[in-house]
Chains A and B, each alone.
Chain A
Amino acid sequence: MKYKETTRSGGALPWLFQRISGVYLAIVLFVHVVNLHILIDGEIGYAAIAERVATPLWKTINISFLIVALFHGLYGLWIVLEDYIHIGWLRVLIYGVIATIALVFAIFGTLTMITFQYGG
């Protein structure tokens, strides 16, 4: 009379982090959008962006935003796909692809932020 003997994958903490990250993103995104689309007059160009990206505070915010958004988005994508895909090898493959994308873009984006020097 047992349900199903599986290895429990849990899911509690990722679920919680998905909520927390969502709220964090909501706040940062708001700041981001207001900052870029309201406070900047005229064209959004290299100068305007670069000025903001160069300061350490913005660097930190941007990097955290990048990583949290990648997690939130790709974990969300995984949840959606997990709902519908039940073939074992395909799941592993997709999981692998998503994880790779996450890793590549996180490194790529972080490097962009860290290495960037305004006027340098």
Chain B
Amino acid sequence: MRVIKRYRIHMGTFAWILHRLSGLGLISYLLLHIWVISHLSGGERSFDGIMHSFGSPMFKLMEIGLVGVILFHLFNGLRVTLIDMGVMVEKQKTLFVIAVIIWLGTWFAFSAIMLSKMGLLPFTV
């Protein structure tokens, strides 16, 4: 029989796993981003060309996802930094909940703005 080697995932573990995954995602994006921006040197045609290929609504929606990942990494990172500074170490779960609330709140706000710019919302923000 196979040996079960499981360990219950606590909130802190969950935060850590998400932080790592989002971090890995972001570093890939960063490298891509630098490459895209480098097209500025090639002049308007080159830049708009590359931007155009990312301009489909599909990519726009993915961009909203990207903002979500960035914001999670950002707020959880701030949580970790606060803990390292000794702030709310004993209340890390509360701190995580707070971080998640702020994350979802800001993400929602950004999404609304971006969607309205794309004209996907019936109203403008």
Contact = CB atoms under 8 A, between A and B. Distances in A.
Contacts of A30: 74
Interface string B12-56: 000000001001101100110010011011011001100100010
B116 to A, nearest CB: 11
A23 B79 CA distance: 11
B108 to A, nearest CB: 14
A45 B51 contact: yes
Given A29-B74, A33-B67, A37-B110, A76 B27 contact: yes
A112 B40 contact: yes
A26 B30 contact: no
Contacts, number: 77
Contacts of B43: 46
A22 B47 contact: no
Contacts of A25: 74
Given A37-B110, A38-B113, A105 B31 contact: yes
A80 interface: yes
Interface residues of A, number: 36
Nearest to A109: B34
Contacts of B113: 37-38
A112 B114 contact: no
A116 B20 CA distance: 34
B27 A116 contact: no
A115 interface: yes
A43 interface: yes
A97 B53 CA distance: 29
B78 interface: yes
B34 A108 contact: yes
A109 B77 contact: no
Interface string B81-125: 100100000000000000000000000001001100100000000
20 contacts: A26-B74, A33-B70, A37-B67, A45-B51, A46-B43, A46-B51, A49-B47, A50-B40, A73-B23, A74-B27, A76-B27, A80-B20, A101-B31, A105-B34, A109-B34, A111-B41, A112-B40, A112-B41, A116-B40, A116-B41
Given A43-B55, A46-B48, 9 more contacts: A37-B67, A38-B113, A45-B47, A50-B40, A73-B23, A76-B27, A77-B23, A77-B24, A112-B37
